[in-house]
Structure formats: C-alpha cells, structure tokens
Amino acid sequence: MREKEISADSSNKLWNFFASVRLTVIILLSLATTSVIGTIIPQNESPAAYFRQYGEFFYRLFNALDIFDMYHSWWFQFLLLLLTLNIVVCSINRLSSTWKIVFTKNPPFNLSKFKNLPDKEEFTDNRSPEQLKKIYESFFSKSFGHRRIEDTEKGFRIFAEKGRWTRLGVYFVHLSIILMIIGGLLGSIFGFEGLVNIPENEVVSSIMLRKTGEIQKLDFGIRLESFNLSFYDSGAPKEYRSTLSIIENGEAVLKQDVIVNDPLRYKGINIFQSSYGTLPPPKITLTFKNRETGKEFEKNAGLGEEFDIPDGGGRFLLKDFKGSFNFMGHNMGMTFIGTLTPVSGDAVDVFLPVQFPNFDRMRKGALSVSVADFKHRYYTGLQVTKDPGVFIVYVGFLVMIIGCFITFFMSHQRICVEVTRSQDRSKVMVAGTANKNKMGMHMKTRKISQGLIGI
C-alpha cells in the first residue's frame, strides 16, 4: 500500500516535471545555445580535415561528443525528444480545462468581474431601456456568437461573447511541432538522399547515398537526353537544364526538363538539378605538326590509348582529360594531357587546351600537338531524394501558421452591457474582457460603446 502510494507520488512528480513551462524554457534555451555550435564548426567534413584544423585532442573530444554531426547526435535528438514529451504532457494536462471552457453550453458570466474593470465605458442615452433593448439585441447578434439577456429591476443586462474556440489555437501550434517532428522522423527513417552523375545519352538506375556512400537501386532508369547551360552577358550562369527521360522496361514513359527550382517527381522520388560537368568523347582527333617540314598528321585516339605518331615521330600517350585546367593562374578550360616520347630524347608532358589549339607550339618542340576535332559531352549531376515525411511536415507548417495567427491575433472576448433607467433616460455601462491583448480589448470596448451611442 505504502509502496504504491510512493510510486503514484513519484509518477505524479514525473508528470508534473514534464508538464511544466519551466522545463520548456530550459529546453528551448538549450536548443538555441547548442545549435550555435554546429554553425561555428563546419558539419560532416572528412576526419582528416577536422584533424588538421583542431589537433588530436579536440578532434577526439569533438568526435566523442558527435560535434561533427551534432544535429543528428544522440544528445540533440534527446533534447527534441524532451521537447516532444513536454508538449504532449503539457497539452494533455491543460486540454481538459480548456475543453470545458470552449464547449460549454452556458458560459458563465461574472457580473462583479465586469463591474470591477477599471476601464469600462459609461454614457447616458435619451431613449428608454425598453427601446434600447431591441436595438442592442440586434447590434450584438451581428458580431457576437453567444448572447444572454437578463432583465433587471431597473432595466436589462446583456452578456455577449465570441471567439471561445480561439483558446484552442495554442494547441494547434503545439500540435504542429509534433507533426513536424513526426514528419522529420519518417523522412529520416524511410527516405534517402543521394547523388548521381549521368552522361548525355546514358541511362542509370541507381544512385549513391550521400550519408553512407552506399548504392541505392531505383525502380526505374533515368536517361539524360541532353544538357544545356546558358549564361548572362556578364558570364554569370543563367540556367542549367537537363532533359530527362524516365525509363521503365526499356521504354521511355516520361520526358521532362529539370532546372534548378523545378524538379521532376516520379513515383515518390524527386530529381533535382544539382551540378554538371564535361566528359571527353570516346575518340578524339589529334593533329601533329612537324615544326621543320610544316607537315601535319591526324590521328584518332581514345583516352588512355598509346600509339605511334605517324611519320616516325615517336610515341604518344593520351593520358588524361580535365573539365577545367589551371595553367600558371589562367583557366584554360577543357584540357587533355598527354605524354610525348620522341624517338630520341626524354618523354615530355604536353597540355592540349581545347580552346587554344596553338598552345603546344609555345613548348617549341619538334612536334606540336593540338586537338583538332572535339565534341565534348556533358554529364548532369542530379540530386535524387525520397522523403515520405514531407507531406506531414507541410501539414505541420500550415497548422503552425494558422495556429499562431489564431493565438496571436484572436481572443476570447466577453462584453457586458448594463442599462439602468434614470428618470426617463437610460444609463449605459459597457465593459469588456478578453483572455489576451487586454489593451486591444480596451480599445474594442470603447469602439463598441461609441457604436452603441451612434445607433
């Protein structure tokens, strides 16, 4: 018996702990403070980079505390869990009393409370209470949902109220937080986020996950039909456009352009324009020019291929291709790199920028090499995501906006008008209260009282 009491007592304590607004303040301030860390220490970089930056000791310390991925760390998630518990318990705690206020048939009116208000309005009207009763009744029926009229010894009294339901607004705000947390959780459990590069005219049907680097298979293929980019006159990029086809069972079922801010969505998978690059074609044409004789020879070659230069010029290895190549501080654009081994003498590396065919002449070798015919291909970099939680998060967004609006700008307003006969005229008192924004209610009461004088 005693034990049961103790456990009931301690579970009660636990309940009250989670129901307290003090805990809310502590959690929210902790979230605010700790969130700063991840904006100062860059997140999710390579261990080597961190090691260089912070040294061994701090690297180990930060690593142990999950600082390098702090927003997904156990302790940050724990704070979010506490917040969730706090909201749920607090809401359950208060909902029943709010519910009673909101869904009562006969809202109570406390006359003395109105009479004691410091800022009530008073005036006299030349008409009798009987005349005023009808007029006031219709006045309040227009804008106040609930009204009650009582006859008094020397006149009458109207209680009117509206916006009882707005007391629920704050529960919507809190519900929205829960919805966002649930949606976020769903997304992180059942969703993924990955990248894929697709060269023009090729099809891929798997992507690489960003977090783990694992390969994720898709239920369909994506083909890049073409990639286009355009620039402003200033040289700043204007648009990246990938024309994609969705391939199912070897057939294109959907063709659509994807640009930044306008993704393709198919079967719950979203495909976003993310980056691009250039690839060399399978074969390119190289020109070799003999400095002395002025003779030119052409040769087709693929990347990595080594061949004899025509006319006994030695051997040539087409080693590498760079989408952009930096030569002594100048960006040369797309550039091939090769190794030229003359019949006699040492091998040299030669650089063949596609845009500058005369570049290799500056080397002043016996042979100068250039790229004659070159049609590069683009590849597009796509971000591919799946997030089944987005819908719930978006509902949360909407509920939060609506809830905040109700909570901040609407209130449960109660008005009391008392009319008493004094000789053949009427003395009128108007007083109003609201559960929020007392100052606004004061102004509203004055407005209503002026309205009553006018009719």
Partner 1 sequence: MNSSNLLSIVTFVYGLAALLYIAHWLFKRPLPGKLATWTAIIGALGNTAGIILRWVESYRLGVGHAPLSNMYESLIFFSWTIIIVYLFIERRYKNRIIGAFATPFAFLAMAYASLSPNINDRIQPLIPALKSNWLIAHVITCFLGYAGFAVAFGINFMYLLKARDAEQKSRWLDHFPDTDVLDELTYQVIMFGFLFLSIGIITGAVWANSAWGSYWSWDPKETWSLITWFIYATLLHARLMRGWHGKRIAYLSILGFMAVLFTYFGVNLLPGLHSYATN
Which residue ranges make up the site for partner 1 (CB under 8 A)?
A: 21-22, 24-25, 28-29, 31-32, 35-36, 38-40, 42-43, 71, 184, 193, 232, 234, 236-240, 259-263, 270, 272-274, 383-385, 387, 390, 393-394, 397, 400-401, 404-405, 408-409, 437-440
Three-state secondary structure call for residue 62: helix
Q: Which does residue 237 bind out of ligand HEM, partner 1, none, counting CB within 5 to 8 angstroms by kind?
A: partner 1
Q: Pick out residues in 393-432 that bind ligand HEM (CB under 6 A).
A: 404, 407
Q: Which does residue 36 bind out of partner 1, ligand HEM, none, counting CB within 5 to 8 angstroms by kind?
A: partner 1
Three-state secondary structure call for residue 34: helix
Helices 74-102 and 2-19 cross at an angle (nearest 10°) of 90
Closest by CA to 191, choosing from 210, 177, 176, is: 210
Least distance to ligand HEM, CB of residue 394, Å: 17
Least distance to ligand HEM, CB of residue 73, Å: 19
Neighbouring C-beta atoms of residue 378, cutoff 10 Å = 19
Distance CA 25, CA 228 (A): 52
Among 70, 160, 170, 419, binds ligand HEM (CB under 6 A): 170
* Residue among 149 and 182 whose Cβ is closer to partner 1: 182
Residue span binding ligand HEM (CB under 6 A) among the ranges 85-93, 117-125, 242-250, 382-390: 85-93
Least distance to ligand HEM, CB of residue 24, Å: 4
Residue span binding ligand HEM (CB under 6 A) among the ranges 82-90, 139-147, 255-263, 328-336: 82-90
Residue span binding ligand HEM (CB under 6 A) among the ranges 169-177, 187-195, 258-266, 387-395: 169-177
Least distance to ligand HEM, CB of residue 89, Å: 7
Closest by CA to 386, choosing from 177, 255, 191, is: 191
* Residue among 95 and 362 whose Cβ is closer to ligand HEM: 95
Least distance to ligand HEM, CB of residue 88, Å: 9
Distance CA 43, CA 178 (A): 26
Q: Pick out residues in 2-31 that bind ligand HEM (CB under 6 A).
A: 21, 24
Q: Which does residue 174 bind out of ligand HEM, partner 1, none, counting CB within 5 to 8 angstroms by kind?
A: ligand HEM
* Residue among 206 and 339 whose Cβ is closer to partner 1: 206
DSSP per residue, 198-229:
EETT-EEEEEEETTT--EEEEEEEEEEEEEEE
Among 67, 158, 175, 177, binds ligand HEM (CB under 6 A): 177
CA distances (Å), 51 to each of 35, 48, 58, 432, in order?
22, 5, 8, 66
Residue 164 contacts ligand HEM per CB under 6 A: no
Q: Give the number of residues in contact with ligand HEM, rule: CB under 6 A.
A: 12
Sign, Cα dihedral of 39, 45, 50, 53: negative
Neighbouring C-beta atoms of residue 327, cutoff 10 Å = 12
Least distance to partner 1, CB of residue 416, Å: 22
Distance CA 170, CA 402 (A): 10
Alpha helix (H) residue ranges in 144-195: 169-190
Least distance to ligand HEM, CB of residue 90, Å: 3
Quick check: 419 and 150 in contact, CB under 8 A? no
Q: Which does residue 195 bind out of ligand HEM, partner 1, none, counting CB within 5 to 8 angstroms by kind?
A: none
Distance CA 145, CA 164 (A): 9
Any residues with CB less than 8 A from the CB of 430 and at least 6 apart, and which?
Answer: 120, 121, 122, 415, 416, 417, 445, 448, 449, 452
- Distance between terminal CA atoms of the chain? 69
Among 37, 80, 90, 402, binds ligand HEM (CB under 6 A): 90
* Residue among 327 and 409 whose Cβ is closer to partner 1: 409
Q: Which does residue 253 bind out of ligand HEM, partner 1, none, counting CB within 5 to 8 angstroms by kind?
A: none
273, burial (CB in 10 Å: exposed 0-12, middle 13-18, buried 19+): buried
Least distance to partner 1, CB of residue 260, Å: 4
Least distance to partner 1, CB of residue 68, Å: 12
Among 67, 87, 198, 392, binds ligand HEM (CB under 6 A): 87
Strands 155-162 and 367-373 come out as: unpaired
What are the tokens at 1? Answer: 């018996």
* Residue among 273 and 407 whose Cβ is closer to ligand HEM: 407
Helices 74-102 and 21-40 cross at an angle (nearest 10°) of 150
Least distance to ligand HEM, CB of residue 219, Å: 38
Distance of CA 138 to the CA centre of its chain: 49
- The residues of the shown chain that bind ligand HEM, judged by CB under 6 A, are 21, 24, 83, 86-87, 90, 170, 173-174, 177, 404, 407
